[in-house]
Structure formats: structure tokens, C-alpha cells
Amino acid sequence: MDQATLEQPTASRSGRFAAGLRAALGFGVELALPPLCPACREPVGDMALCAACWAKLSFIAPPYCARLGVPFAYDPGAGVLSMQAIADPPAFNRARAAVRYDEIARTLVHALKYGDRLDLAPTMGQWMAAAGRELLTEADALIPVPLHWRRLWSRRFNQAGALAQAISRASGVGVVDGALKRVKATAQQVGRSKAERAANMQGAFRVPDKAPVAGRRLVLVDDVLTSGATSESCARALLRAGAANVDVLVFARVVDSVRTPI
């Protein structure tokens, strides 16, 4: 598809035209068409989001819990842990996220996951690489959280894999595909309590071959961290297989309330 052969209609007509063409031809032509802002559908040129929507994204920056990466309302000093990290420490070592999971973040995640907007992955991956720089400088490999094969089949690609590839290009840390297998087609986590989510994810992942993970420092990559049940289940499987360290890097995390540090 040669973009020069397309006429230059008004912005919104061009947007609808591009969206229609995308729907008709699939994501293979994505790069040849003027990309649309996934949140407001305006053409955005080379950017992942338009300036107005970008300004609404809530990037996570220090001060935050050294373990969970949950932002603090004020700076309690370096290395301080949240109450949550002390009361209920996770199996993984540290978690970091690029942005808070709010309306704009959800739009980006859904566009990547269900909207064939693979062109968003490089930008989202760059933001993640910046948020997880501390983890990535110490990491041996990136491990994308896998989909069950049945879901991979219906969705055609794994969004966590696309983000891991983008982080890899930004950080130089390699991706190990297939290190984790999703052996349970888990039900949707939406609407479940934290305990139900944990039970739902129990034994959901398996490490088919210990060699690529044993003794290595790993960064688990996913799009969203909600209750942490998925990351927890993956981290347990990787640690059982002999991983030296498991950190978690996600695009967006749910921040339900500000935790008071001790």
C-alpha cells in the first residue's frame, strides 16, 4: 500500500477511511496508514497518543514502595516499603509500572490487545523500559506472561509478548519466549475478589524446561497489574524452576488508594 496514492481528505474522513481499511486488511498495513489516537480517534502522525490524551496519562514516578512500586503521596525516604508489601509480601521481588490504570491507560491496553494496534507497542514499551530501568539493568532476560493457546488463537498475538519485544529493543535485554506455559485456561478475573483471583490462578503456569530460567534474573512482562495474582502465579513457577530473581514490569497498574508508609 503506497500512502501517496491515497487522497488527502479531511482529518476525520481520513481517520474513518484508515480505520475502515485497517478493519478490512488487518494489522499488516498498520504502518502504511495514518495512525489514529486510540482514545479520541484523531490522526496523530508519529505519536501513539494525541497531545491532549497524552497529557491525561498518569505516569508513575518516585516516591513509591521499593517493593510493589505503588506510589506514595509524599516521600518517606529511599527504600521504604508500603504497609501492603510488609503485611503481604509478593513472591516476586519488585514490581514497576509505567502508568496508573485509568481510562486513558485502559484505552491504550484495549487498543493493543483487541484493536490490532500493534503500532502502539514500541511507545508503550519505551515508557515501560524507562519505568523499569532499575530492574532492567540487573536483568538477564524478559519473560512475557503467556496466553493460553486457545486465547492466543482467537487473538492472534500476545500483547505481553509485543510489549516484551519493544522493551527488549529499548533496553537490550533479550526475550525468552516459551519459558512459561499457561496450562490452565483461567476464567476472567474481572469482578473477582483478591482471594478468588489467587485461587483462580493457582497452578495456571508451568515451566516446561528449567534451563532458560535456572539461576537467571528475570523480568516478567505484562500489560496490566490488577490484584497481582497472575504475576504471583508466574513468579512462583519461575522461582520453583530455579530463577535467581523475578521482577515484574507492566504497562499499567491499578492504584486503588494511597498506602501510608510506616
Q: Which residues are at the interface with Zn ion (CB under 5 A)?
A: 37, 39-40, 50, 53
37 vs 143, which CB is nearer to Zn ion?
37
Q: How far is the CB of 74 from Zn ion (least distance, A)?
A: 32
**With the C-alpha atoms ordered 53, 171, 229, 93, is the resulting torsion angle positive or negative?**
negative
In a 10 Å sphere around its CB, with 0-12 CB exposed, 13-18 middle and 19+ buried, how is residue 64 labelled? Answer: buried
CB of 10 to Zn ion, least distance (A): 17
* Gap between the Cα atoms of 123 and 136, Å rounded: 17
The least CB distance from residue 171 to Zn ion, in Å, is 27
Q: Smallest distance from the beta carbon of 40 to Zn ion, in angstroms? A: 3
Contact 146, 181 (CB under 8 A): yes
C-alpha cell at 206: 508451568
Is residue 246 within 8 Å of residue 235, measured between CB atoms?
yes
Nearer to Zn ion, 51 or 214 (CB): 51
Question: Minimal CA–CA distance to 228: which of 198, 203, 200?
Answer: 198
Closest distance of CB 37 from Zn ion, Å: 3
- DSSP conformation class of 190: T
For Zn ion, give the closer residue by CB, 105 or 141.
105
All three cell numbers of 105, joined, read 491507560
Would you say 39 or 179 has its CB closer to Zn ion? 39
- Strand, coil or helix: what is 84? helix
CB of 127 to Zn ion, least distance (A): 16
The closest of 112, 239, 137, 122 to 179, measured between CA atoms, is: 239
- For residues 40 and 80, which CB has a smaller minimum distance to Zn ion in the complex? 40
Complex with Zn ion: residue 127 or 205, whichever CB lies closer: 127
H helices, E strands: number in the chain: 10, 6
